[in-house]
Amino acid sequence: MQSKQDIPWARITIEATAIIVSILVAFAIDAWWEDRRERQEERDYLSSLRQELIIGLDLLANRESVHKEIIESHEDLINQIQAEDRASDGSLLYMFSLLSRPTVVDLPRAVFDDLVSSGGTQLIRSDEIRIALAVYGRRLREFETDNDAAWATWEQRLQPYLEGRIPRRDRLLLGSFGRDRPSIDFSFGRSQHESDFDGVLADPVFEDMLAERWLRVLARSERIQGLQSLMNEIVGLINNELSGVGF
């Protein structure tokens, strides 16, 4: 009978260990590359989102003076309803012209929407940023609702009411170009129809619609201030995150 050969356990153990170690190293390398890819994707998202927020903040800041004028025009007309001596026709026309100025601001949100719809928020490691973005999404929905409500009060109620009472042509000319640009510069000139300022100011229906839109625009103004504060906070959080050692 042939003698049994000794099993080389030491060599088998070394080879098995080498195989296991190589597999573990391969897994570690894959995990490292995946983590690196996710960190780069997170950085790209945060950088793009920061830029989008900064653009939105600039839009809101640029509309701030216009929004203030619109609020003041409502308040001036409300005061005129109660005033014993009303303002001149030219001043009243200017007040009415400001009512028609658009109050809607479309904030850019493509990056934010993509981040949410693609599940990209899971890549963001900062709990503060994720919570702030959840609040931002809710604030955006409220902001857009206020946008629609404020404009609908004008488009569906005040504008139709003023037709035939205060010529739209005069209101749009003055509202678009201001007092410093006389309508005589335009080929079609001023309307030949007189404005019924006294009749409009004495009508309780107009007063009711004006007060409603004034309150909606005021509420929207407060919403804008809160939104601006939140957007600035998120930009600050992103700046801190991108400057951290994790990247």
Give the total number of structural domains in the chain. 1
The encoded tokens of residue 151 equal 């404009």
Separation between Cα atoms, residue 26 and residue 20, nearest integer Å = 10
In a domain, 47, yes or no: yes
The encoded tokens of residue 229 equal 């504060």
In a domain, 55, yes or no: yes
Higher-confidence position of 5 and 55? 55
In a domain, 247, yes or no: no
Q: Which residue has the tokens 């919570």?
A: 131
Mean confidence (pLDDT) of the chain: 85
Domain extent for 153 = 9-242
Buried residues in 72-105 as b, exposed as e (16+ CB within 10 A): ebbebbeebbeeeeebeeeebbbbbbbbbbebeb
The encoded tokens of residue 154 equal 């004008």
Separation between Cα atoms, residue 104 and residue 67, nearest integer Å = 10
Q: How far is CA 225 from the centre of its chain?
A: 11
The encoded tokens of residue 97 equal 């012209």
Residue 175: what pLDDT? 62
In a domain, 3, yes or no: no
Q: How confident is the model at residue 72 (pLDDT cuts 50, 70, 90)?
A: very high
How far is the CA of 37 from the CAs of 40, 115, 210, in angstroms?
A: 5, 16, 55
pTM over 0.85: no
If you write DSSP's letter for every residue of 70-117 in order, what string do you get? HHHHHHHHHHHHH-SSPPPHHHHHHHHHHHTS--------HHHHHHHH
Phi, psi (degrees; rounded to nearest 5) at 83: -75, 145
Higher-confidence position of 32 and 210? 210
The encoded tokens of residue 28 equal 């570690």
Roughly how many angstroms between the first and final C-alpha of the chain, as a whole number? 69
In a domain, 171, yes or no: yes
Q: Are residues 217 and 32 in contact, defined by beta-carbon separation less than 8 angstroms?
A: no
Residues recorded for the chain: 247
Residue 141: what pLDDT? 92
Separation between Cα atoms, residue 88 and residue 152, nearest integer Å = 29
Picking from 14-28, 62-76, 100-114, which range would have the lowest pLDDT averaged per residue? 14-28
In a domain, 4, yes or no: no
Separation between Cα atoms, residue 164 and residue 181, nearest integer Å = 24
In a domain, 107, yes or no: yes
